[in-house]
Amino acid sequence: MNIGVISTRLAGTDGVSLESAKLVTIAKQFGHNVFYCAGELDPDLKRQGLEDSRLHFEDEVAKELHDRAFVAKETAVTLLPDIEKRAAELKRPLHQFLTQYQIDTVIIQNAFAIPMQLPLAQALAELMAELKLPGLAHNHDFYWERPRFLNSHITQFLDQFFPPNLPDLNHAVINSLAQTALKQRRRLNSFIIPNVFDFHTPPPGIDDFNADFRQAIGLSDEDWLILQPTRVIPRKGIELAIELLHRLNDSRTKLIITHKAGDEGTAYLHELETLAQAKNVDLRYVADQVDDQRRAGAGQKTYSLWDAYPHADLVTYPSFIEGFGNALIETVYFRLPAVVNRYPVYAADIGPLGFQFAEIDGEITSGTVEMVRGWLEDPETAVPTTTHNYELGKKHFSYQTLKTLLAPMWQR
């Protein structure tokens, strides 16, 4: 079977791209061929797909329509015809992709969930209906979960296409809260695809390529590398990580941010840098040295995110909101201790499974500081916790979990 993965972007280290790659791994294990279509593709995906910048959420027309809908709050009467016109244009590259690669079924990665690309959702839904094309909508975050999408004059349009109700379209969500909301709001059934890792394969460690990672970002072997492996956006709560380091009050602590800022502007990064300086916290923004893949050339080395984990002493995950928690499960996979804010999905779907972290409820407490200090001063004391977490991860969030979930659709 030929499976087509379609999204606005399938590149980099964002959660949608990372989780999409895991579904692809399982599809290939079932013996299927996979092809890609998006506004931006990783270089290694371009050979097996179609890249058209008009499909990207950063496409100028898409951004204009988004702003007219959610910033200017334009009326549906004047806005919807322009969305429909653009949707008709987007059908052409989509149809070309489906035809060129003889696609039998599609995986729609979040394009039916978050309304960043309004005409793309309409184009996809109409095309799937016309072609009676079966598929899976992998919905990571719905419009009703984001305040900025709740006040517009195109609610009826959103409820028609985000996500659409098509007879041959299965829906997957990434947590139980979204599953309940989708059923209540749209009367659509869904199943949960959690973030997963290949727990049956040990995580990579320090090797010849990444042995100098600490040196490359200006740290010594004696420093404590506190890893913040998330994008730099306000809902990640990174100010709580800064507060933790401030309270630890130890010059060995270095807060390392690995992901790029910019998805929602750079103002938050500047606020964090100012806050860190005021609280005497050593914050290192190393996104220009870390990407989704290793690269070396012209005297410059780019590390992967997985090159950072083996050097880390602790992971901070102080998010206020997460669709699930890819970086948290990644932390479990790398057997690292972590500080975790009890965001709603964690409280509903992860914490109750018995994981052991330094949990916080929106603020850093003295107990949290002392627990973390103990782990950093004597890393051996964290081993029982990280081993326990790894075994739970293997049980609940492994590739085998994902394979079992997808077998009814993809097993030959």
Mean pLDDT per 10-residue section of the chain, whose length is 412 residues: 96 81 93 96 93 96 97 97 98 97 97 97 98 96 92 96 97 96 96 92 95 96 96 95 98 95 85 97 96 83 96 98 91 98 97 97 97 98 98 95 92 75
Q: What are the structure tokens assigned to 216, written together? A: 């490359």
Spatial contact of 397 and 342, defined as CB atoms under 8 Å apart: no
Q: Where are the domains of the chain?
A: 2-196+399-410, 213-396
CATH architecture group of domain 2-196+399-410: 3-Layer(aba) Sandwich (3.40)
- Residue closest to 352 by CA, chosen among 344, 362, 360: 344
- Cα–Cα distance measured from residue 335 to residue 384, given in angstroms and rounded to the nearest whole number: 10
92: Cα separation from own chain's centroid = 28
* pLDDT at residue 166 in the model: 97
Distances (CA, A) of 342 to 25, 41, 82, 178, 349: 30, 34, 42, 17, 11
pLDDT for position 188: 97
Q: What pLDDT is attached to residue 263?
A: 67
CA 301 – CA 289 distance, rounded (Å): 7
| Coil, helix or strand at residue 169 | strand
Q: Phi and psi (nearest 5°) for 316?
A: -105, 135
For residue 56, which phi and psi values (nearest 5 degrees)? Answer: -75, 150
Of 378, 372, 377, nearest in space to 337 by CA: 372
Tally of CB atoms within 10 A around 201: 10
Could you give the C-alpha distances from 284 to 184, 216, 219, 227, 255, in angstroms and in order? 43, 12, 10, 10, 6
Do 2-196+399-410 and 213-396 agree at the fold level?
A: yes
Q: Which CATH class is domain 213-396?
A: alpha beta
Q: Specify the pLDDT at position 359.
A: 97
Task: Choose among 55, 60, 9, 69: nearest CA to 260.
Answer: 9
Q: What is the C-alpha separation between 238 and 228, in angstroms, rounded?
A: 8
